[in-house]
Structure formats: structure tokens, C-alpha cells
Homo-oligomer: A and B are copies of this chain.
């Protein structure tokens, strides 16, 4: 090759390594071109230098992807194809399941009943009656629970109110402030204490409004999947 036999072993000097890389890269690309022309071959050559730069040669009228795909096919070690096909399969299954689920919902919503037999209709009816009973029970359970909760809260606030009253009465007994000033403070404090449960009641309204919106949206998810 050059002035004295060279040993095929990593070049430690990084500059020389790069120089050699450039020279030899040009040589190998030239060889690849010659192989293409002389022998009608197709060649895909990808090279990355130790500094990370990439160079390539590809025969005319051919792409790296094309050759790589053929290589995969030939070597039988195609790892992507099965993965891709499995995905496609899963997608299909999911779509089918999705359609089944939608149909069931439509049927439970009183639509799309034409293809059901009498027995199926009877089963569906019974099932729905049983289910509506569950919903009803849950509703009653919820309303009684929340009523209890509010009762407890009100009771709690009343107790606080009463203990405050007592506290102030005790202070009234211990000290003697001017009656009018004290009366003013006292009133406002009562106003706050008794007002609290009402604030709760008002805060309830908007919450219920949004719940109603949710309810209207029931069974009409905005689904637009291909």
C-alpha cells in the first residue's frame, strides 16, 4: 500500500486516524462503484467515522431501504414485520371490540333492537330492569348519605355557634365593655357563624350544574377514530 507494510490495527493518533479514514473511505467507495458498474451489482455502503460523521454509497437506481429490506427478507431475521403485523392485528381487534361495545350500548339505550330475537329482548329487558333497580338504590343511598353529611355539618356549625355564644356570655360576665361597641362585634360574628351553612348551600349549585352537563353528555362521547 504505502511506504512500508502497515499493520491492520487501530490507529491511536486521532488525526492520522481521520486522515486514513478519509483516504480509505474514498477508496472503498471507488471500489463499490466499480463493482456496481463492472459486475451489475447493487451495493449499499454506510460508514460512520469515529467522530460520528456518516458517509454512504448506494448503487444508482436503488435505495438503502430497498437493499436493507431485501437483506432482511433474505436473512429471515426481519424483526419489524411481525411487530408491525401484530400491531395491525391488535388494532383490528380493538376496533371490532369497540364496535361490539358500542352496539351493546346502543341496545341498552333502546336502539338497534331489530336483529334481536324475542328471547334476547326478554333477557335484555330483565337485565335492564335489574340494573335500573341498582341505580335507583345507589341513588337513594347517595341522597341519604349526603343528607346525613349536611345534617352533621349543620349540627357541627350550630355547636360551634353555641360554644361561641357561651364564650362571649362568659366574657360578658367577667368584663364590662361599653354595651354598644360589643353588641356590634357580636352581631357580625353571629352573622358569620350562621352564614356558613348557607355558603355551603350556595356552593352546591354550580357543582350540580356541571354534573347535569355530564349527565347530558352520557352516551355521546365525541369519538371520531378512523
Name A residues whose Cβ lies closer than 8 Å to a Cβ of B.
8-11, 17-18, 20-21, 24-25, 27-28, 31-35, 37-50, 54, 56, 64-65, 67-68, 70-71, 74, 79-80, 84, 87-88, 90-91, 93-95, 97-98, 100-102, 104-105, 107-111, 113-114, 116-125, 127-136, 138-139, 142-143, 146, 208, 211-212, 214-216, 218-219, 221, 223, 225-226
Contact = CB atoms under 8 A, between A and B. Distances in A.
A37 B54 CA distance: 17
Nearest to A138: B113
A186 to B, nearest CB: 38
Number of copies of this chain that the complex holds:
2
B47 A93 contact: no
Contact of A225 (B94, B129, B211, B216): B94
Given A105-B105, A132-B129, A97 B98 contact: yes
Interface centre among A47, A97, A134, A219 (most CB of B within 10 A): A47
Given A45-B43, A67-B46, A132-B125, A8 B219 contact: no
